[in-house]
Amino acid sequence: MRADFLKFNPLKLGEEEIAEVVDTLRSEWITTGPKTKRFEEDFVRQFDCKSAVALASCTAGLHLALAALGIGKRDEVITTCMTFTATANVIEHVGATPVLVDVEPDTLNLDLAQVEAAITPRTKVIMPVHYAGHPVEMDALRALAEPRGITILEDAAHAVGATYRGRPIGSGENPCAFSFYATKNLTTAEGGMLTGSAELMDKARILGLHGMSRDAWKRYSKSGSWFYEVLAPGFKYNMTDIQASLGLWQLKKLAGFQQRRAEIAAAYTKAFSACDLLETPVVRPHVGHAWHLYVLRLKSERLSIARNRFIDEMTARNIGTSVHFIPIHLHPYYRETYGYSPEDFPVALDAYHRMLSLPLHPGLTDADVADVIEAVLDIATKNYVRRAA
């Protein structure tokens, strides 16, 4: 057993990020300024985006996109039940109704047949989540949405660096929000990016800084003006130059991070595929998986312990894990507000009871990966329930 505890997802920051932050602290800009602008430009260039706005979080990006699209009361937004609560919360924030649908059994992404069945005349937006970093089937989703005039707003919190049919996630005209939270593939501690058409990003930029007129952030610089106008009742969602300083270097390192994540995921899959007590993640051939998460599912009917006990056993072996996610319809607010029962979304419910996320980050050594594999296989085989002859 390991002598030290292996954290589920520690930070991967280097001296370059530290030096860039120090440079920012010694400059005249620590809030939104030239480094935030440069981070936006670098992000656009790297992922072939139409335009981008750096923000305080992915949640802020999703909220701003809905607000900029004019989504509000009496509108409906279809999204997945297998996601973090922020995805549904922002729909509530604009006064619209979240319409939850179940997920595909393999990818745990939106089940598009159920999306189609959920569309009504009030449906204005479909919000897919690229779960764990595996892209949603975007061609099929566009075929559902575009003829009906429905906007696709991508929750790409897990998907920075992912591709669909060779195109980077976030490169389309439709809005797409990324997360740079501390555990993400690219981090600015807290932060996010919203991408999409230049017209929509102009609206989002204004709404993201109190609704003040364009370039109001420059008002304290020599080239700026004290005068500004409030064009809409906006929010305080801007990214700071301190955060962007981390992002500038994390973006440069991302390809290397992604390669290491893919290597670790491949090692896990090779080891666990040979064990008939475990279900490994899938990767469809036409996608580039970001591997934000490695979600293993237990074949519970063949084990004498449930998922929670399995996690306890991993912890006892000094290995950190997590669960992604508690489905939205199980949370008290959504359950009580919309009258959901646990069985309303059976695929998500079944996956939730069987899943755990294994350590997956570029700082893992080969020895760390071997320790995780050994622990998982040891717990599984020791708790194997043999079938009757």
The domain ranges of the chain are 15-103+110-250, 254-382
User: What residues contact residue 364 under an 8 Å CB cut-off, 6+ apart?
Assistant: 260, 264
Supply the pTM of this predicted model. 0.96
What is the residue type of 196? G
pLDDT of residue 216: 59
Which residue in the block uniquely carries the two structure tokens 């797409």? 176
Half-sphere exposure of 189 (CA within 13 A, CB side): 11
Residue 184 a catalytic site member: yes
Catalytic residue among 12, 50, 184, 203: 184
Quote the crossing angle between the two packed helices 34-47 and 241-272, to the nearest 10°.
30
The ranges of the chain with pLDDT < 50 are: none
Summarised one tens digit per residue, pLDDT across range 357-367 is: 999 999 999 99
Tokens describing residue 225 = 């003006």
Report the relative pairing of strands 76-80 and 123-127 from DSSP bridges.
parallel
pLDDT of residue 227: 81
Q: Does domain 254-382 have CATH number 3.30.365.10?
A: no
Report the distance separating Cα 175 and Cα 141, nearest Å: 14
Report the distance separating Cα 184 and Cα 159, nearest Å: 9
Residue 15: phi and psi, rounded to 5, are -65, -25
Report the distance separating Cα 344 and Cα 236, nearest Å: 37
3-state secondary structure the chain: CCCCCECCCCCCCCHHHHHHHHHHHCCCCCCCCHHHHHHHHHHHHHHCCCCEEEECCHHHHHHHHHHHCCCCCCCEEEEECCCCHHHHHHHHHCCCEEEEECECCCCCCECHHHHHHHCCCCEEEEECECHHHCCCCHHHHHHHHHHHCCEECEEECCCCCCEECCEECCCCCCCEEEECCCCCCCCCCCCEEEECCHHHHHHHHHHCECCECCCHHHHHCCCCCCCCCECCCCCECECCHHHHHHHHHHHHHHHHHHHHHHHHHHHHHHHHCCCCCEECCCCCCCEECCCCCEEEEECHHHECCCHHHHHHHHHHCCECCECCCCCHHHCHHHHHHHCCCHHHCHHHHHHHHHEEEECCCCCCCHHHHHHHHHHHHHHHHHCECCCCC
Report the distance separating Cα 207 and Cα 218, nearest Å: 16
Report the distance separating Cα 275 and Cα 373, nearest Å: 11
Q: Which fold has domain 15-103+110-250?
A: Aspartate Aminotransferase; domain 2 (3.40.640)
pLDDT of residue 184: 98
User: What residues contact residue 257 under an 8 Å CB cut-off, 6+ apart?
Assistant: 12, 185, 186, 362
Report the distance separating Cα 132 and Cα 278, nearest Å: 18
Residue 166: phi and psi, rounded to 5, are 85, -5
Phi-psi sector, 91: left (phi>0), alpha (psi -120 to 50), beta: alpha
